[in-house]
Amino acid sequence: MARQQGSKVRAPTMADVARLAKVSPQTVSRVLNDYEFIKPHTRDRVLQAIDSLDYRPNMAARTLATSRSRTIGVIATDYLSYGPATALWGVEQAAREAGYGVSIVSLRESNYRTMTEALERLASQSVEGVVMIAPQDATAHAAFVSFDEIPVVTLSSYESGVHKPIMLDSAEGSRIATRHLIDLGHRVIRHVSGPAGFTVSESRVQGWRDAASEARLVATEPLVGDWTAESGYVVGKELARDHRATAVYVANDRMAQGVLLALHEAGRRVPEDFSVVGFDDVPEAAYLIPPLTTIRQDFTALGRRCIEAVLALINGEPPLEPEPLIPNLIVRQSTAPPLQ
Amino acid sequence: MARQQGSKVRAPTMADVARLAKVSPQTVSRVLNDYEFIKPHTRDRVLQAIDSLDYRPNMAARTLATSRSRTIGVIATDYLSYGPATALWGVEQAAREAGYGVSIVSLRESNYRTMTEALERLASQSVEGVVMIAPQDATAHAAFVSFDEIPVVTLSSYESGVHKPIMLDSAEGSRIATRHLIDLGHRVIRHVSGPAGFTVSESRVQGWRDAASEARLVATEPLVGDWTAESGYVVGKELARDHRATAVYVANDRMAQGVLLALHEAGRRVPEDFSVVGFDDVPEAAYLIPPLTTIRQDFTALGRRCIEAVLALINGEPPLEPEPLIPNLIVRQSTAPPLQ
DNA sequence: CTTACTATTGTTTGCGGTAACGAAGGAGTG
DNA sequence: CACTCCTTCGTTACCGCAAACAATAGTAAG
């Protein structure tokens, strides 16, 4: 139990354990790997030796011998924002539960080169699979180009014939959000979208258009932001000048926050004069002024699914059919029927 | 350049490269490790062979042979919030620049057992060092108890005789925040602190007390939150009823957001009736209503320092003297002189 | 009492690298 | 010209583990 103190004492190996337990190294290995035909007595001796030497198996050696690293690589372009961070959390939890470790590489910039480098890096660490948290089209694209040696699962909504990503049905979320506004009686509903190049930007715009046209409303051009509160604030000012519109559906909560501020500064009250719906349900959404009505995404579940999917691939099982998760509406105080 | 297609083609090894380049495996190894006495001609042949076989060194084998994994382990109790996530980002970036990979383990619950497990896990992956993102006393504590085989650097503000953590001077940040309010003319300044058990909770309370007593003000008991916006909202209601106080310094931005909402609902205007200062400067702080005056922490720098510190330890250099970073005040619109 | 298994353990080999050592050839030196 | 030293390679052994194969003892079956 007591740890080795002080300097460079070589860590105990299986041979040391074997010697102490008076068995062969292979037997120690068997105990460690839950081989069934071990006498309880022998097992106990080995276990006790392991414990008293404080032996810990050397993953590198095991990986070399088995070419299984029990490690999943994660490539993320961003895990500072709530969504990706939470997904990463889910990935890591699920991975650990499955006995896997997680090695992560982040990309400040995502293009073919950086993607390839990241994959090479992970490949040389012999990761058994890779989860790519890739909100951008370019990133998702890059995933296909490169490896077929290592199973790769993408968390995005980019679809391709090659492999299906784990995703949330963004368009459906959009429809739900927009319909909520329509049901409240809004007729002119604008949209603040994410930037071009992000798959979810597209699909959210699409869902908004769909819901609008179903209700025979015209969807004017969306305003484009870049996911940040700042961009929401900027387009929010423009929105505040639009006196035909009575509601806006914003593609994420952070931009919605900026919109809220711009509206406030322009003297337009939410929800009396203007209804606002966001997307994501970040933990802070409930404490904005006013508390934000939004679409909740279960990022953790998304992350967990990624692991299920890579694991299936790793074990050569048929690839998981990834029916997209359906997000749900959380009604708070930023939406109300229009006044007039 | 072209990748191996399809099924189970054994990845090329150094021997394959050696054969193709007509040299010994050892020479390939030398080229890979920048050994100086290699004829340019030989080096080129090897490099070309590597390229044409698309050879990638096997980290597991290298680790086994050298017992250097070129991997840093990270233990985090939380990387969903902005601070830890950003620190993790800094760690990962700096690690990569130094040629290290990052393997992460998160703890949903941090006590001696989970800490030890995490360290064991990382140790068996032969990480060369560990960075612990440990805001809680308990976690920071656990760091000492365990390993002296592997260098561990803690990102926290828990001090001990054994090793100094990488930290930001929380108390100083508190003083700056509080002095800002004092300078504006506030005489009754309350404090919303983080929960017990977090080192920064303590030191922020301390800084607030210091600044208050310097100015010969009485610091009434702090209100205690748990870092979440929700808890800020709860204590904010209480705060709204305190009509002697004209200002509050909140230990983090998220709680400050909750306070803002509570104040708003109680009809107390910010900053006219009540000034609010936060801590962290999360990206959203600038887009709250009103934009929040706060103390900015450079989490990325903190993360980078952690890597510098572990690296020093790993290379047997004298441990870095970690002069704490000094945060700075960002004045926005949630603070103003008291009315009367 | 053989024979045929089965349960249990040991021995050998190899995973893909690098460290340590050795050796050949050329340059410099007295 | 013999001797030493440096450059540039190759050879051997080993890192810590598990796969493959072998061996032993017991047990059930014939």
Average pLDDT over residues A320-326: 80
With a cut of 60, say whether residue B196 has pLDDT above it.
Answer: yes
| String of DSSP letters for A103-157 | EEEE-SS-SHHHHHHHHHHHHHTT-SEEEEE--BHHHHHHHHHS-SSS-EEEESS
A37 plus A76 within the same structural domain:
no
Question: How far is A215 from chain B, CA to nearest CA, in Å?
Answer: 33
| String of DSSP letters for B70-130 | -EEEEEES--SSHHHHHHHHHHHHHHHHTT-EEEEEE-SS-SHHHHHHHHHHHHHTT-SEE
A182: closest CA among A113, A247, A92, A103? A247
pLDDT category, A318, cuts 50, 70, 90? confident
**In a mutagenesis test of the A interface, which of B74, B125, B233, B253 is the best target, namely the one with the most A β-carbons within 10 Å?**
B125
**A277 in Cβ contact with A285 (< 8 Å):** no
pLDDT category, A155, cuts 50, 70, 90? confident
**Lowest model confidence (mean pLDDT) among A19-33, A104-118, A224-238, B143-157:** B143-157
pLDDT given for residue A2 in this prediction = 37
d(CA A185, CA A193): 22
pLDDT given for residue B4 in this prediction = 39
Instruction: Tell if the CB–CB gap between B80 and A85 is shorter than 8 Å.
Output: yes
With a cut of 50, say whether residue A137 has pLDDT above it.
Answer: yes
pLDDT category, B78, cuts 50, 70, 90? confident
| String of DSSP letters for B200-237 | HHHHHHHHHHHHHHHTT---PPPEE--SSHHHHHHHHH
Look up the CATH number of the domain holding residue B139. Answer: 3.40.50.2300
User: What does the radius of gyration of chain A's CA atoms come to, in whole angstroms?
Assistant: 26
A59, A89, A288 ranked by CB distance to B125: nearest: A59
Whole-Å CA distances, A23 to A44, A45, A61: 12, 9, 20
Do the domain assignments include residue A205? yes
Q: Does A79 touch chain B (CB under 8 A)?
A: yes
B174 SS3 class = helix
pLDDT given for residue A108 in this prediction = 84
**In a mutagenesis test of the A interface, which of B4, B59, B146 is the best target, namely the one with the most A β-carbons within 10 Å?**
B59
pLDDT tens per residue across span A4-48? 333 456 789 999 999 999 999 999 999 999 999 999 999 999 999
3-state secondary structure A52-82: HHCCCCCHHHHHHHHCCCCEEEEEECCCCCH
Joined tokens for residue B98? 């130094």
Whole-Å CA distances, A317 to A165, A245, A308: 16, 51, 11
Do the domain assignments include residue A62? no
B61, B102, B123 ranked by CB distance to A56: nearest: B123
| Chain A residues within 8 A of B82 when measuring between CB atoms | 80
pLDDT tens per residue across span B201-226? 999 999 999 999 999 998 889 999 99
d(CA B325, CA B298): 8
pLDDT given for residue B7 in this prediction = 43
Do the domain assignments include residue B1? no
Do the domain assignments include residue B338? no
Q: Does B234 touch chain A (CB under 8 A)?
A: no
A177 plus A161 within the same structural domain:
no
A250: closest CA among A198, A302, A293, A300? A293
With a cut of 70, say whether residue A147 has pLDDT above it.
Answer: no
Average pLDDT along chain B: 89
Joined tokens for residue B267? 């009809």
Instruction: Tell if the CB–CB gap between B228 and A88 is shorter than 8 Å.
Output: no
Closest chain B residue to A256, measured at CA: B287
CA dihedral over A182, A188, A194, A196, signed as positive or negative: positive
| Chain B residues within 8 A of A283 when measuring between CB atoms | 228-229, 254
Do the domain assignments include residue B334? no
CA–C1' distance A103–C9 (Å)?
37
Residue B121, amino acid: R
A223-224 β-sheet, strand order: A223-224, A189-193, A247-250, A275-277
Residues 134-163 of A with CB under 8 A from B: 146-149
| Chain A residues within 8 A of B124 when measuring between CB atoms | 56-59
The nucleotide whose C1' lies nearest the CA of A33 is D18
Do the domain assignments include residue B146? yes
With a cut of 50, say whether residue B15 has pLDDT above it.
Answer: yes
Q: How many CB atoms lie within 10 A of CB B308?
A: 15
pLDDT given for residue B135 in this prediction = 72
pLDDT category, B244, cuts 50, 70, 90? very high
Q: Does A55 touch chain B (CB under 8 A)?
A: no
d(CA A34, CA A32): 6
A156 plus A305 within the same structural domain:
yes
B275-277 β-sheet, strand order: B223-224, B189-193, B247-250, B275-277
A144 plus A130 within the same structural domain:
yes
Instruction: Tell if the CB–CB gap between B289 and A286 is shorter than 8 Å.
Output: no
CA–C1' distance B26–C21 (Å)?
13
pLDDT given for residue B157 in this prediction = 61
The total domain count for chain B is 3
B96, B146, B287 ranked by CB distance to A229: nearest: B287
Instruction: Tell if the CB–CB gap between B69 and A60 is shorter than 8 Å.
Output: yes
* Residue showing tokens 């949903």: B108
pLDDT given for residue A161 in this prediction = 44
A182 SS3 class = helix
Do the domain assignments include residue B332? no
d(CA A307, CA A131): 7
Joined tokens for residue B270? 């910010």
pLDDT given for residue B168 in this prediction = 84
A180 plus A201 within the same structural domain:
yes
Look up the CATH number of the domain holding residue B26. Answer: 1.10.260.40
pLDDT given for residue B294 in this prediction = 98
B80 plus B144 within the same structural domain:
yes
A101 plus A212 within the same structural domain:
no
pLDDT given for residue B147 in this prediction = 60
Domain that holds residue B26: 14-57
With a cut of 60, say whether residue B1 has pLDDT above it.
Answer: no
B339 SS3 class = coil
Instruction: Tell if the CB–CB gap between B92 and A106 is shorter than 8 Å.
Output: yes
**A310 in Cβ contact with A155 (< 8 Å):** no
pLDDT tens per residue across span B126-178? 999 999 887 776 665 665 555 657 888 888 765 554 566 777 888 999 999 99
pLDDT given for residue A141 in this prediction = 60
pLDDT category, B5, cuts 50, 70, 90? very low
Residues 268-297 of A with CB under 8 A from B: 283-284, 286-289, 291
With a cut of 70, say whether residue B253 has pLDDT above it.
Answer: yes
B172 SS3 class = helix
A77 plus A95 within the same structural domain:
yes
Joined tokens for residue A333? 């105080």
The nucleotide whose C1' lies nearest the CA of A41 is C8
Average pLDDT over residues B82-87: 92
A271 plus A321 within the same structural domain:
no
pLDDT given for residue B148 in this prediction = 59
Helices B40-53 and B14-21, packing angle to 10 deg: 120
A124 plus A273 within the same structural domain:
no
H or E stretch including A250? Answer: strand A247-250
B158 plus B218 within the same structural domain:
no
Average pLDDT over residues B31-50: 94
Q: Does B5 touch chain A (CB under 8 A)?
A: yes
d(CA A95, CA A300): 12
Contact residues for A86 (Cβ-Cβ < 8 A; gap 6+): A299, A300, A303, B80
CA–C1' distance A155–C6 (Å)?
49
pLDDT given for residue A116 in this prediction = 83
A185 plus A248 within the same structural domain:
yes
A101-106 β-sheet, strand order: A152-155, A129-133, A71-76, A101-106, B101-106, B71-76, B129-133, B152-155
With a cut of 70, say whether residue A87 has pLDDT above it.
Answer: yes
Do the domain assignments include residue A43? yes
pLDDT category, B9, cuts 50, 70, 90? low
pLDDT tens per residue across span A176-196? 999 999 999 999 999 999 999
Which of B57, B80, B109 terminates a domain? The answer is B57
